[in-house]
Amino acid sequence: MIGSLWWVSASLLLRSISGEGPPIDTCPSAGSRSSSVTHTMAEVGGSYKDSLTQEQKDDLRAIAEKIVADGKGILAADESTGTIGKRLSAISLENNEDNRRKYRQLLFTTPNIGQHISGVILYEETFNQSTDSGEKFVDVLIKQGIVPGIKLDLGVTEQVLAYVYKALADHHVYLEGTLLKPNMVTPGQDCPTKATHEEIGLATVTALRRGVPAAVPGITFLSGGQSELDATANLHAINTVKLLKPWKLTFSYGRALQASVLKAWQGKDENIEAAQKVLLHRAQANGMASLGKYEGEDAAGAAAESLFIAKHSY
């Protein structure tokens, strides 16, 4: 019961977004047909449904209060395989499952850890692992009064899109006058397996087909820290997927258009022309990709460099 309640609390947030939670105040945005300033979800096409029992509410409240108990906090031990591998490498340990298990065992079996830690976020692999003596890590934590939880990000793009468009429909937003600027569906930065452009294209189009109405005229992708070449190649792959795509699929790139330009310019007037040529080239390449006609280019140089920035915020 304890391990599952964290998932329930996450679903509560999604229900409130989708119109199945309590009434909320909203302000009409540009493109909204509604002239009223305040609506309940029921008034704009949603419905109120209290889907939790009183017992579930009590359990959720108790767990939340336990996690924020005075003098305690959460241990985030959900590093991906790639991330923890870097940490193990720093102490000359091989990144294998047993070494990862031993490290988490060290953390979770620390004497008196429950005096200061109220909850632990586990990586999916860790959730099913055990100590040397065969005791499940989850049980080790519970015995110390620690709430175990797990964070799953699989399918997040598809799920978010579904709830975004449910909310837009509830508020009668004129979809034909909107554009969507989403991420592409790519592996996490620390994923040890590199997906092909074709795999990224198919995954992205599949998620969009399941969540974005055909009334939306266009989808303009952000580059999300990909190299300039990857951002272009992935856009091309998206446009060449052999599935029905009712929207225009193009780009809205910042770093993936400007990184090479800045390097060419270097802040010098004499480099302006060269930098402008670089910008033109990148814009042209992405324009061709948006048509599914990009033919590739030399992978050497600045355009091939990753533009990923850890914890980047806009």
Residues marked active site are found at 181
DSSP for 245-276 reads --SEEEE--SHHHHHHHHHHHTT-GGGHHHHH
List all residues 6 or more positions away from 258 whose beta carbon is below 8 Å from its beta carbon. Answer: 279
- Tokens encoding 263: 């390097």
Question: Which of the 8 DSSP states describes residue 196?
Answer: P
- Give the chain's length: 314
What CA–CA distance (Å, rounded) separates 237 from 245?
13
Residue entry with tokens 């989850």: 138
Q: Determine contact, residues 294/288, Cβ cutoff 8 Å.
A: yes
Q: Which amino acid is at 184?
A: M
Distances (CA, A) of 212 to 167, 182, 218: 12, 11, 10
Half-sphere exposure of 9 (CA within 13 A, CB side): 16
Distances (CA, A) of 312 to 78, 166, 190, 224, 225: 19, 28, 15, 9, 9
What CA–CA distance (Å, rounded) separates 100 from 56?
34
Which SS3 state, helix, strand or coil, does residue 256 take?
helix
DSSP β-bridge partners for residue 219? 180, 249
What CA–CA distance (Å, rounded) separates 227 from 216?
28
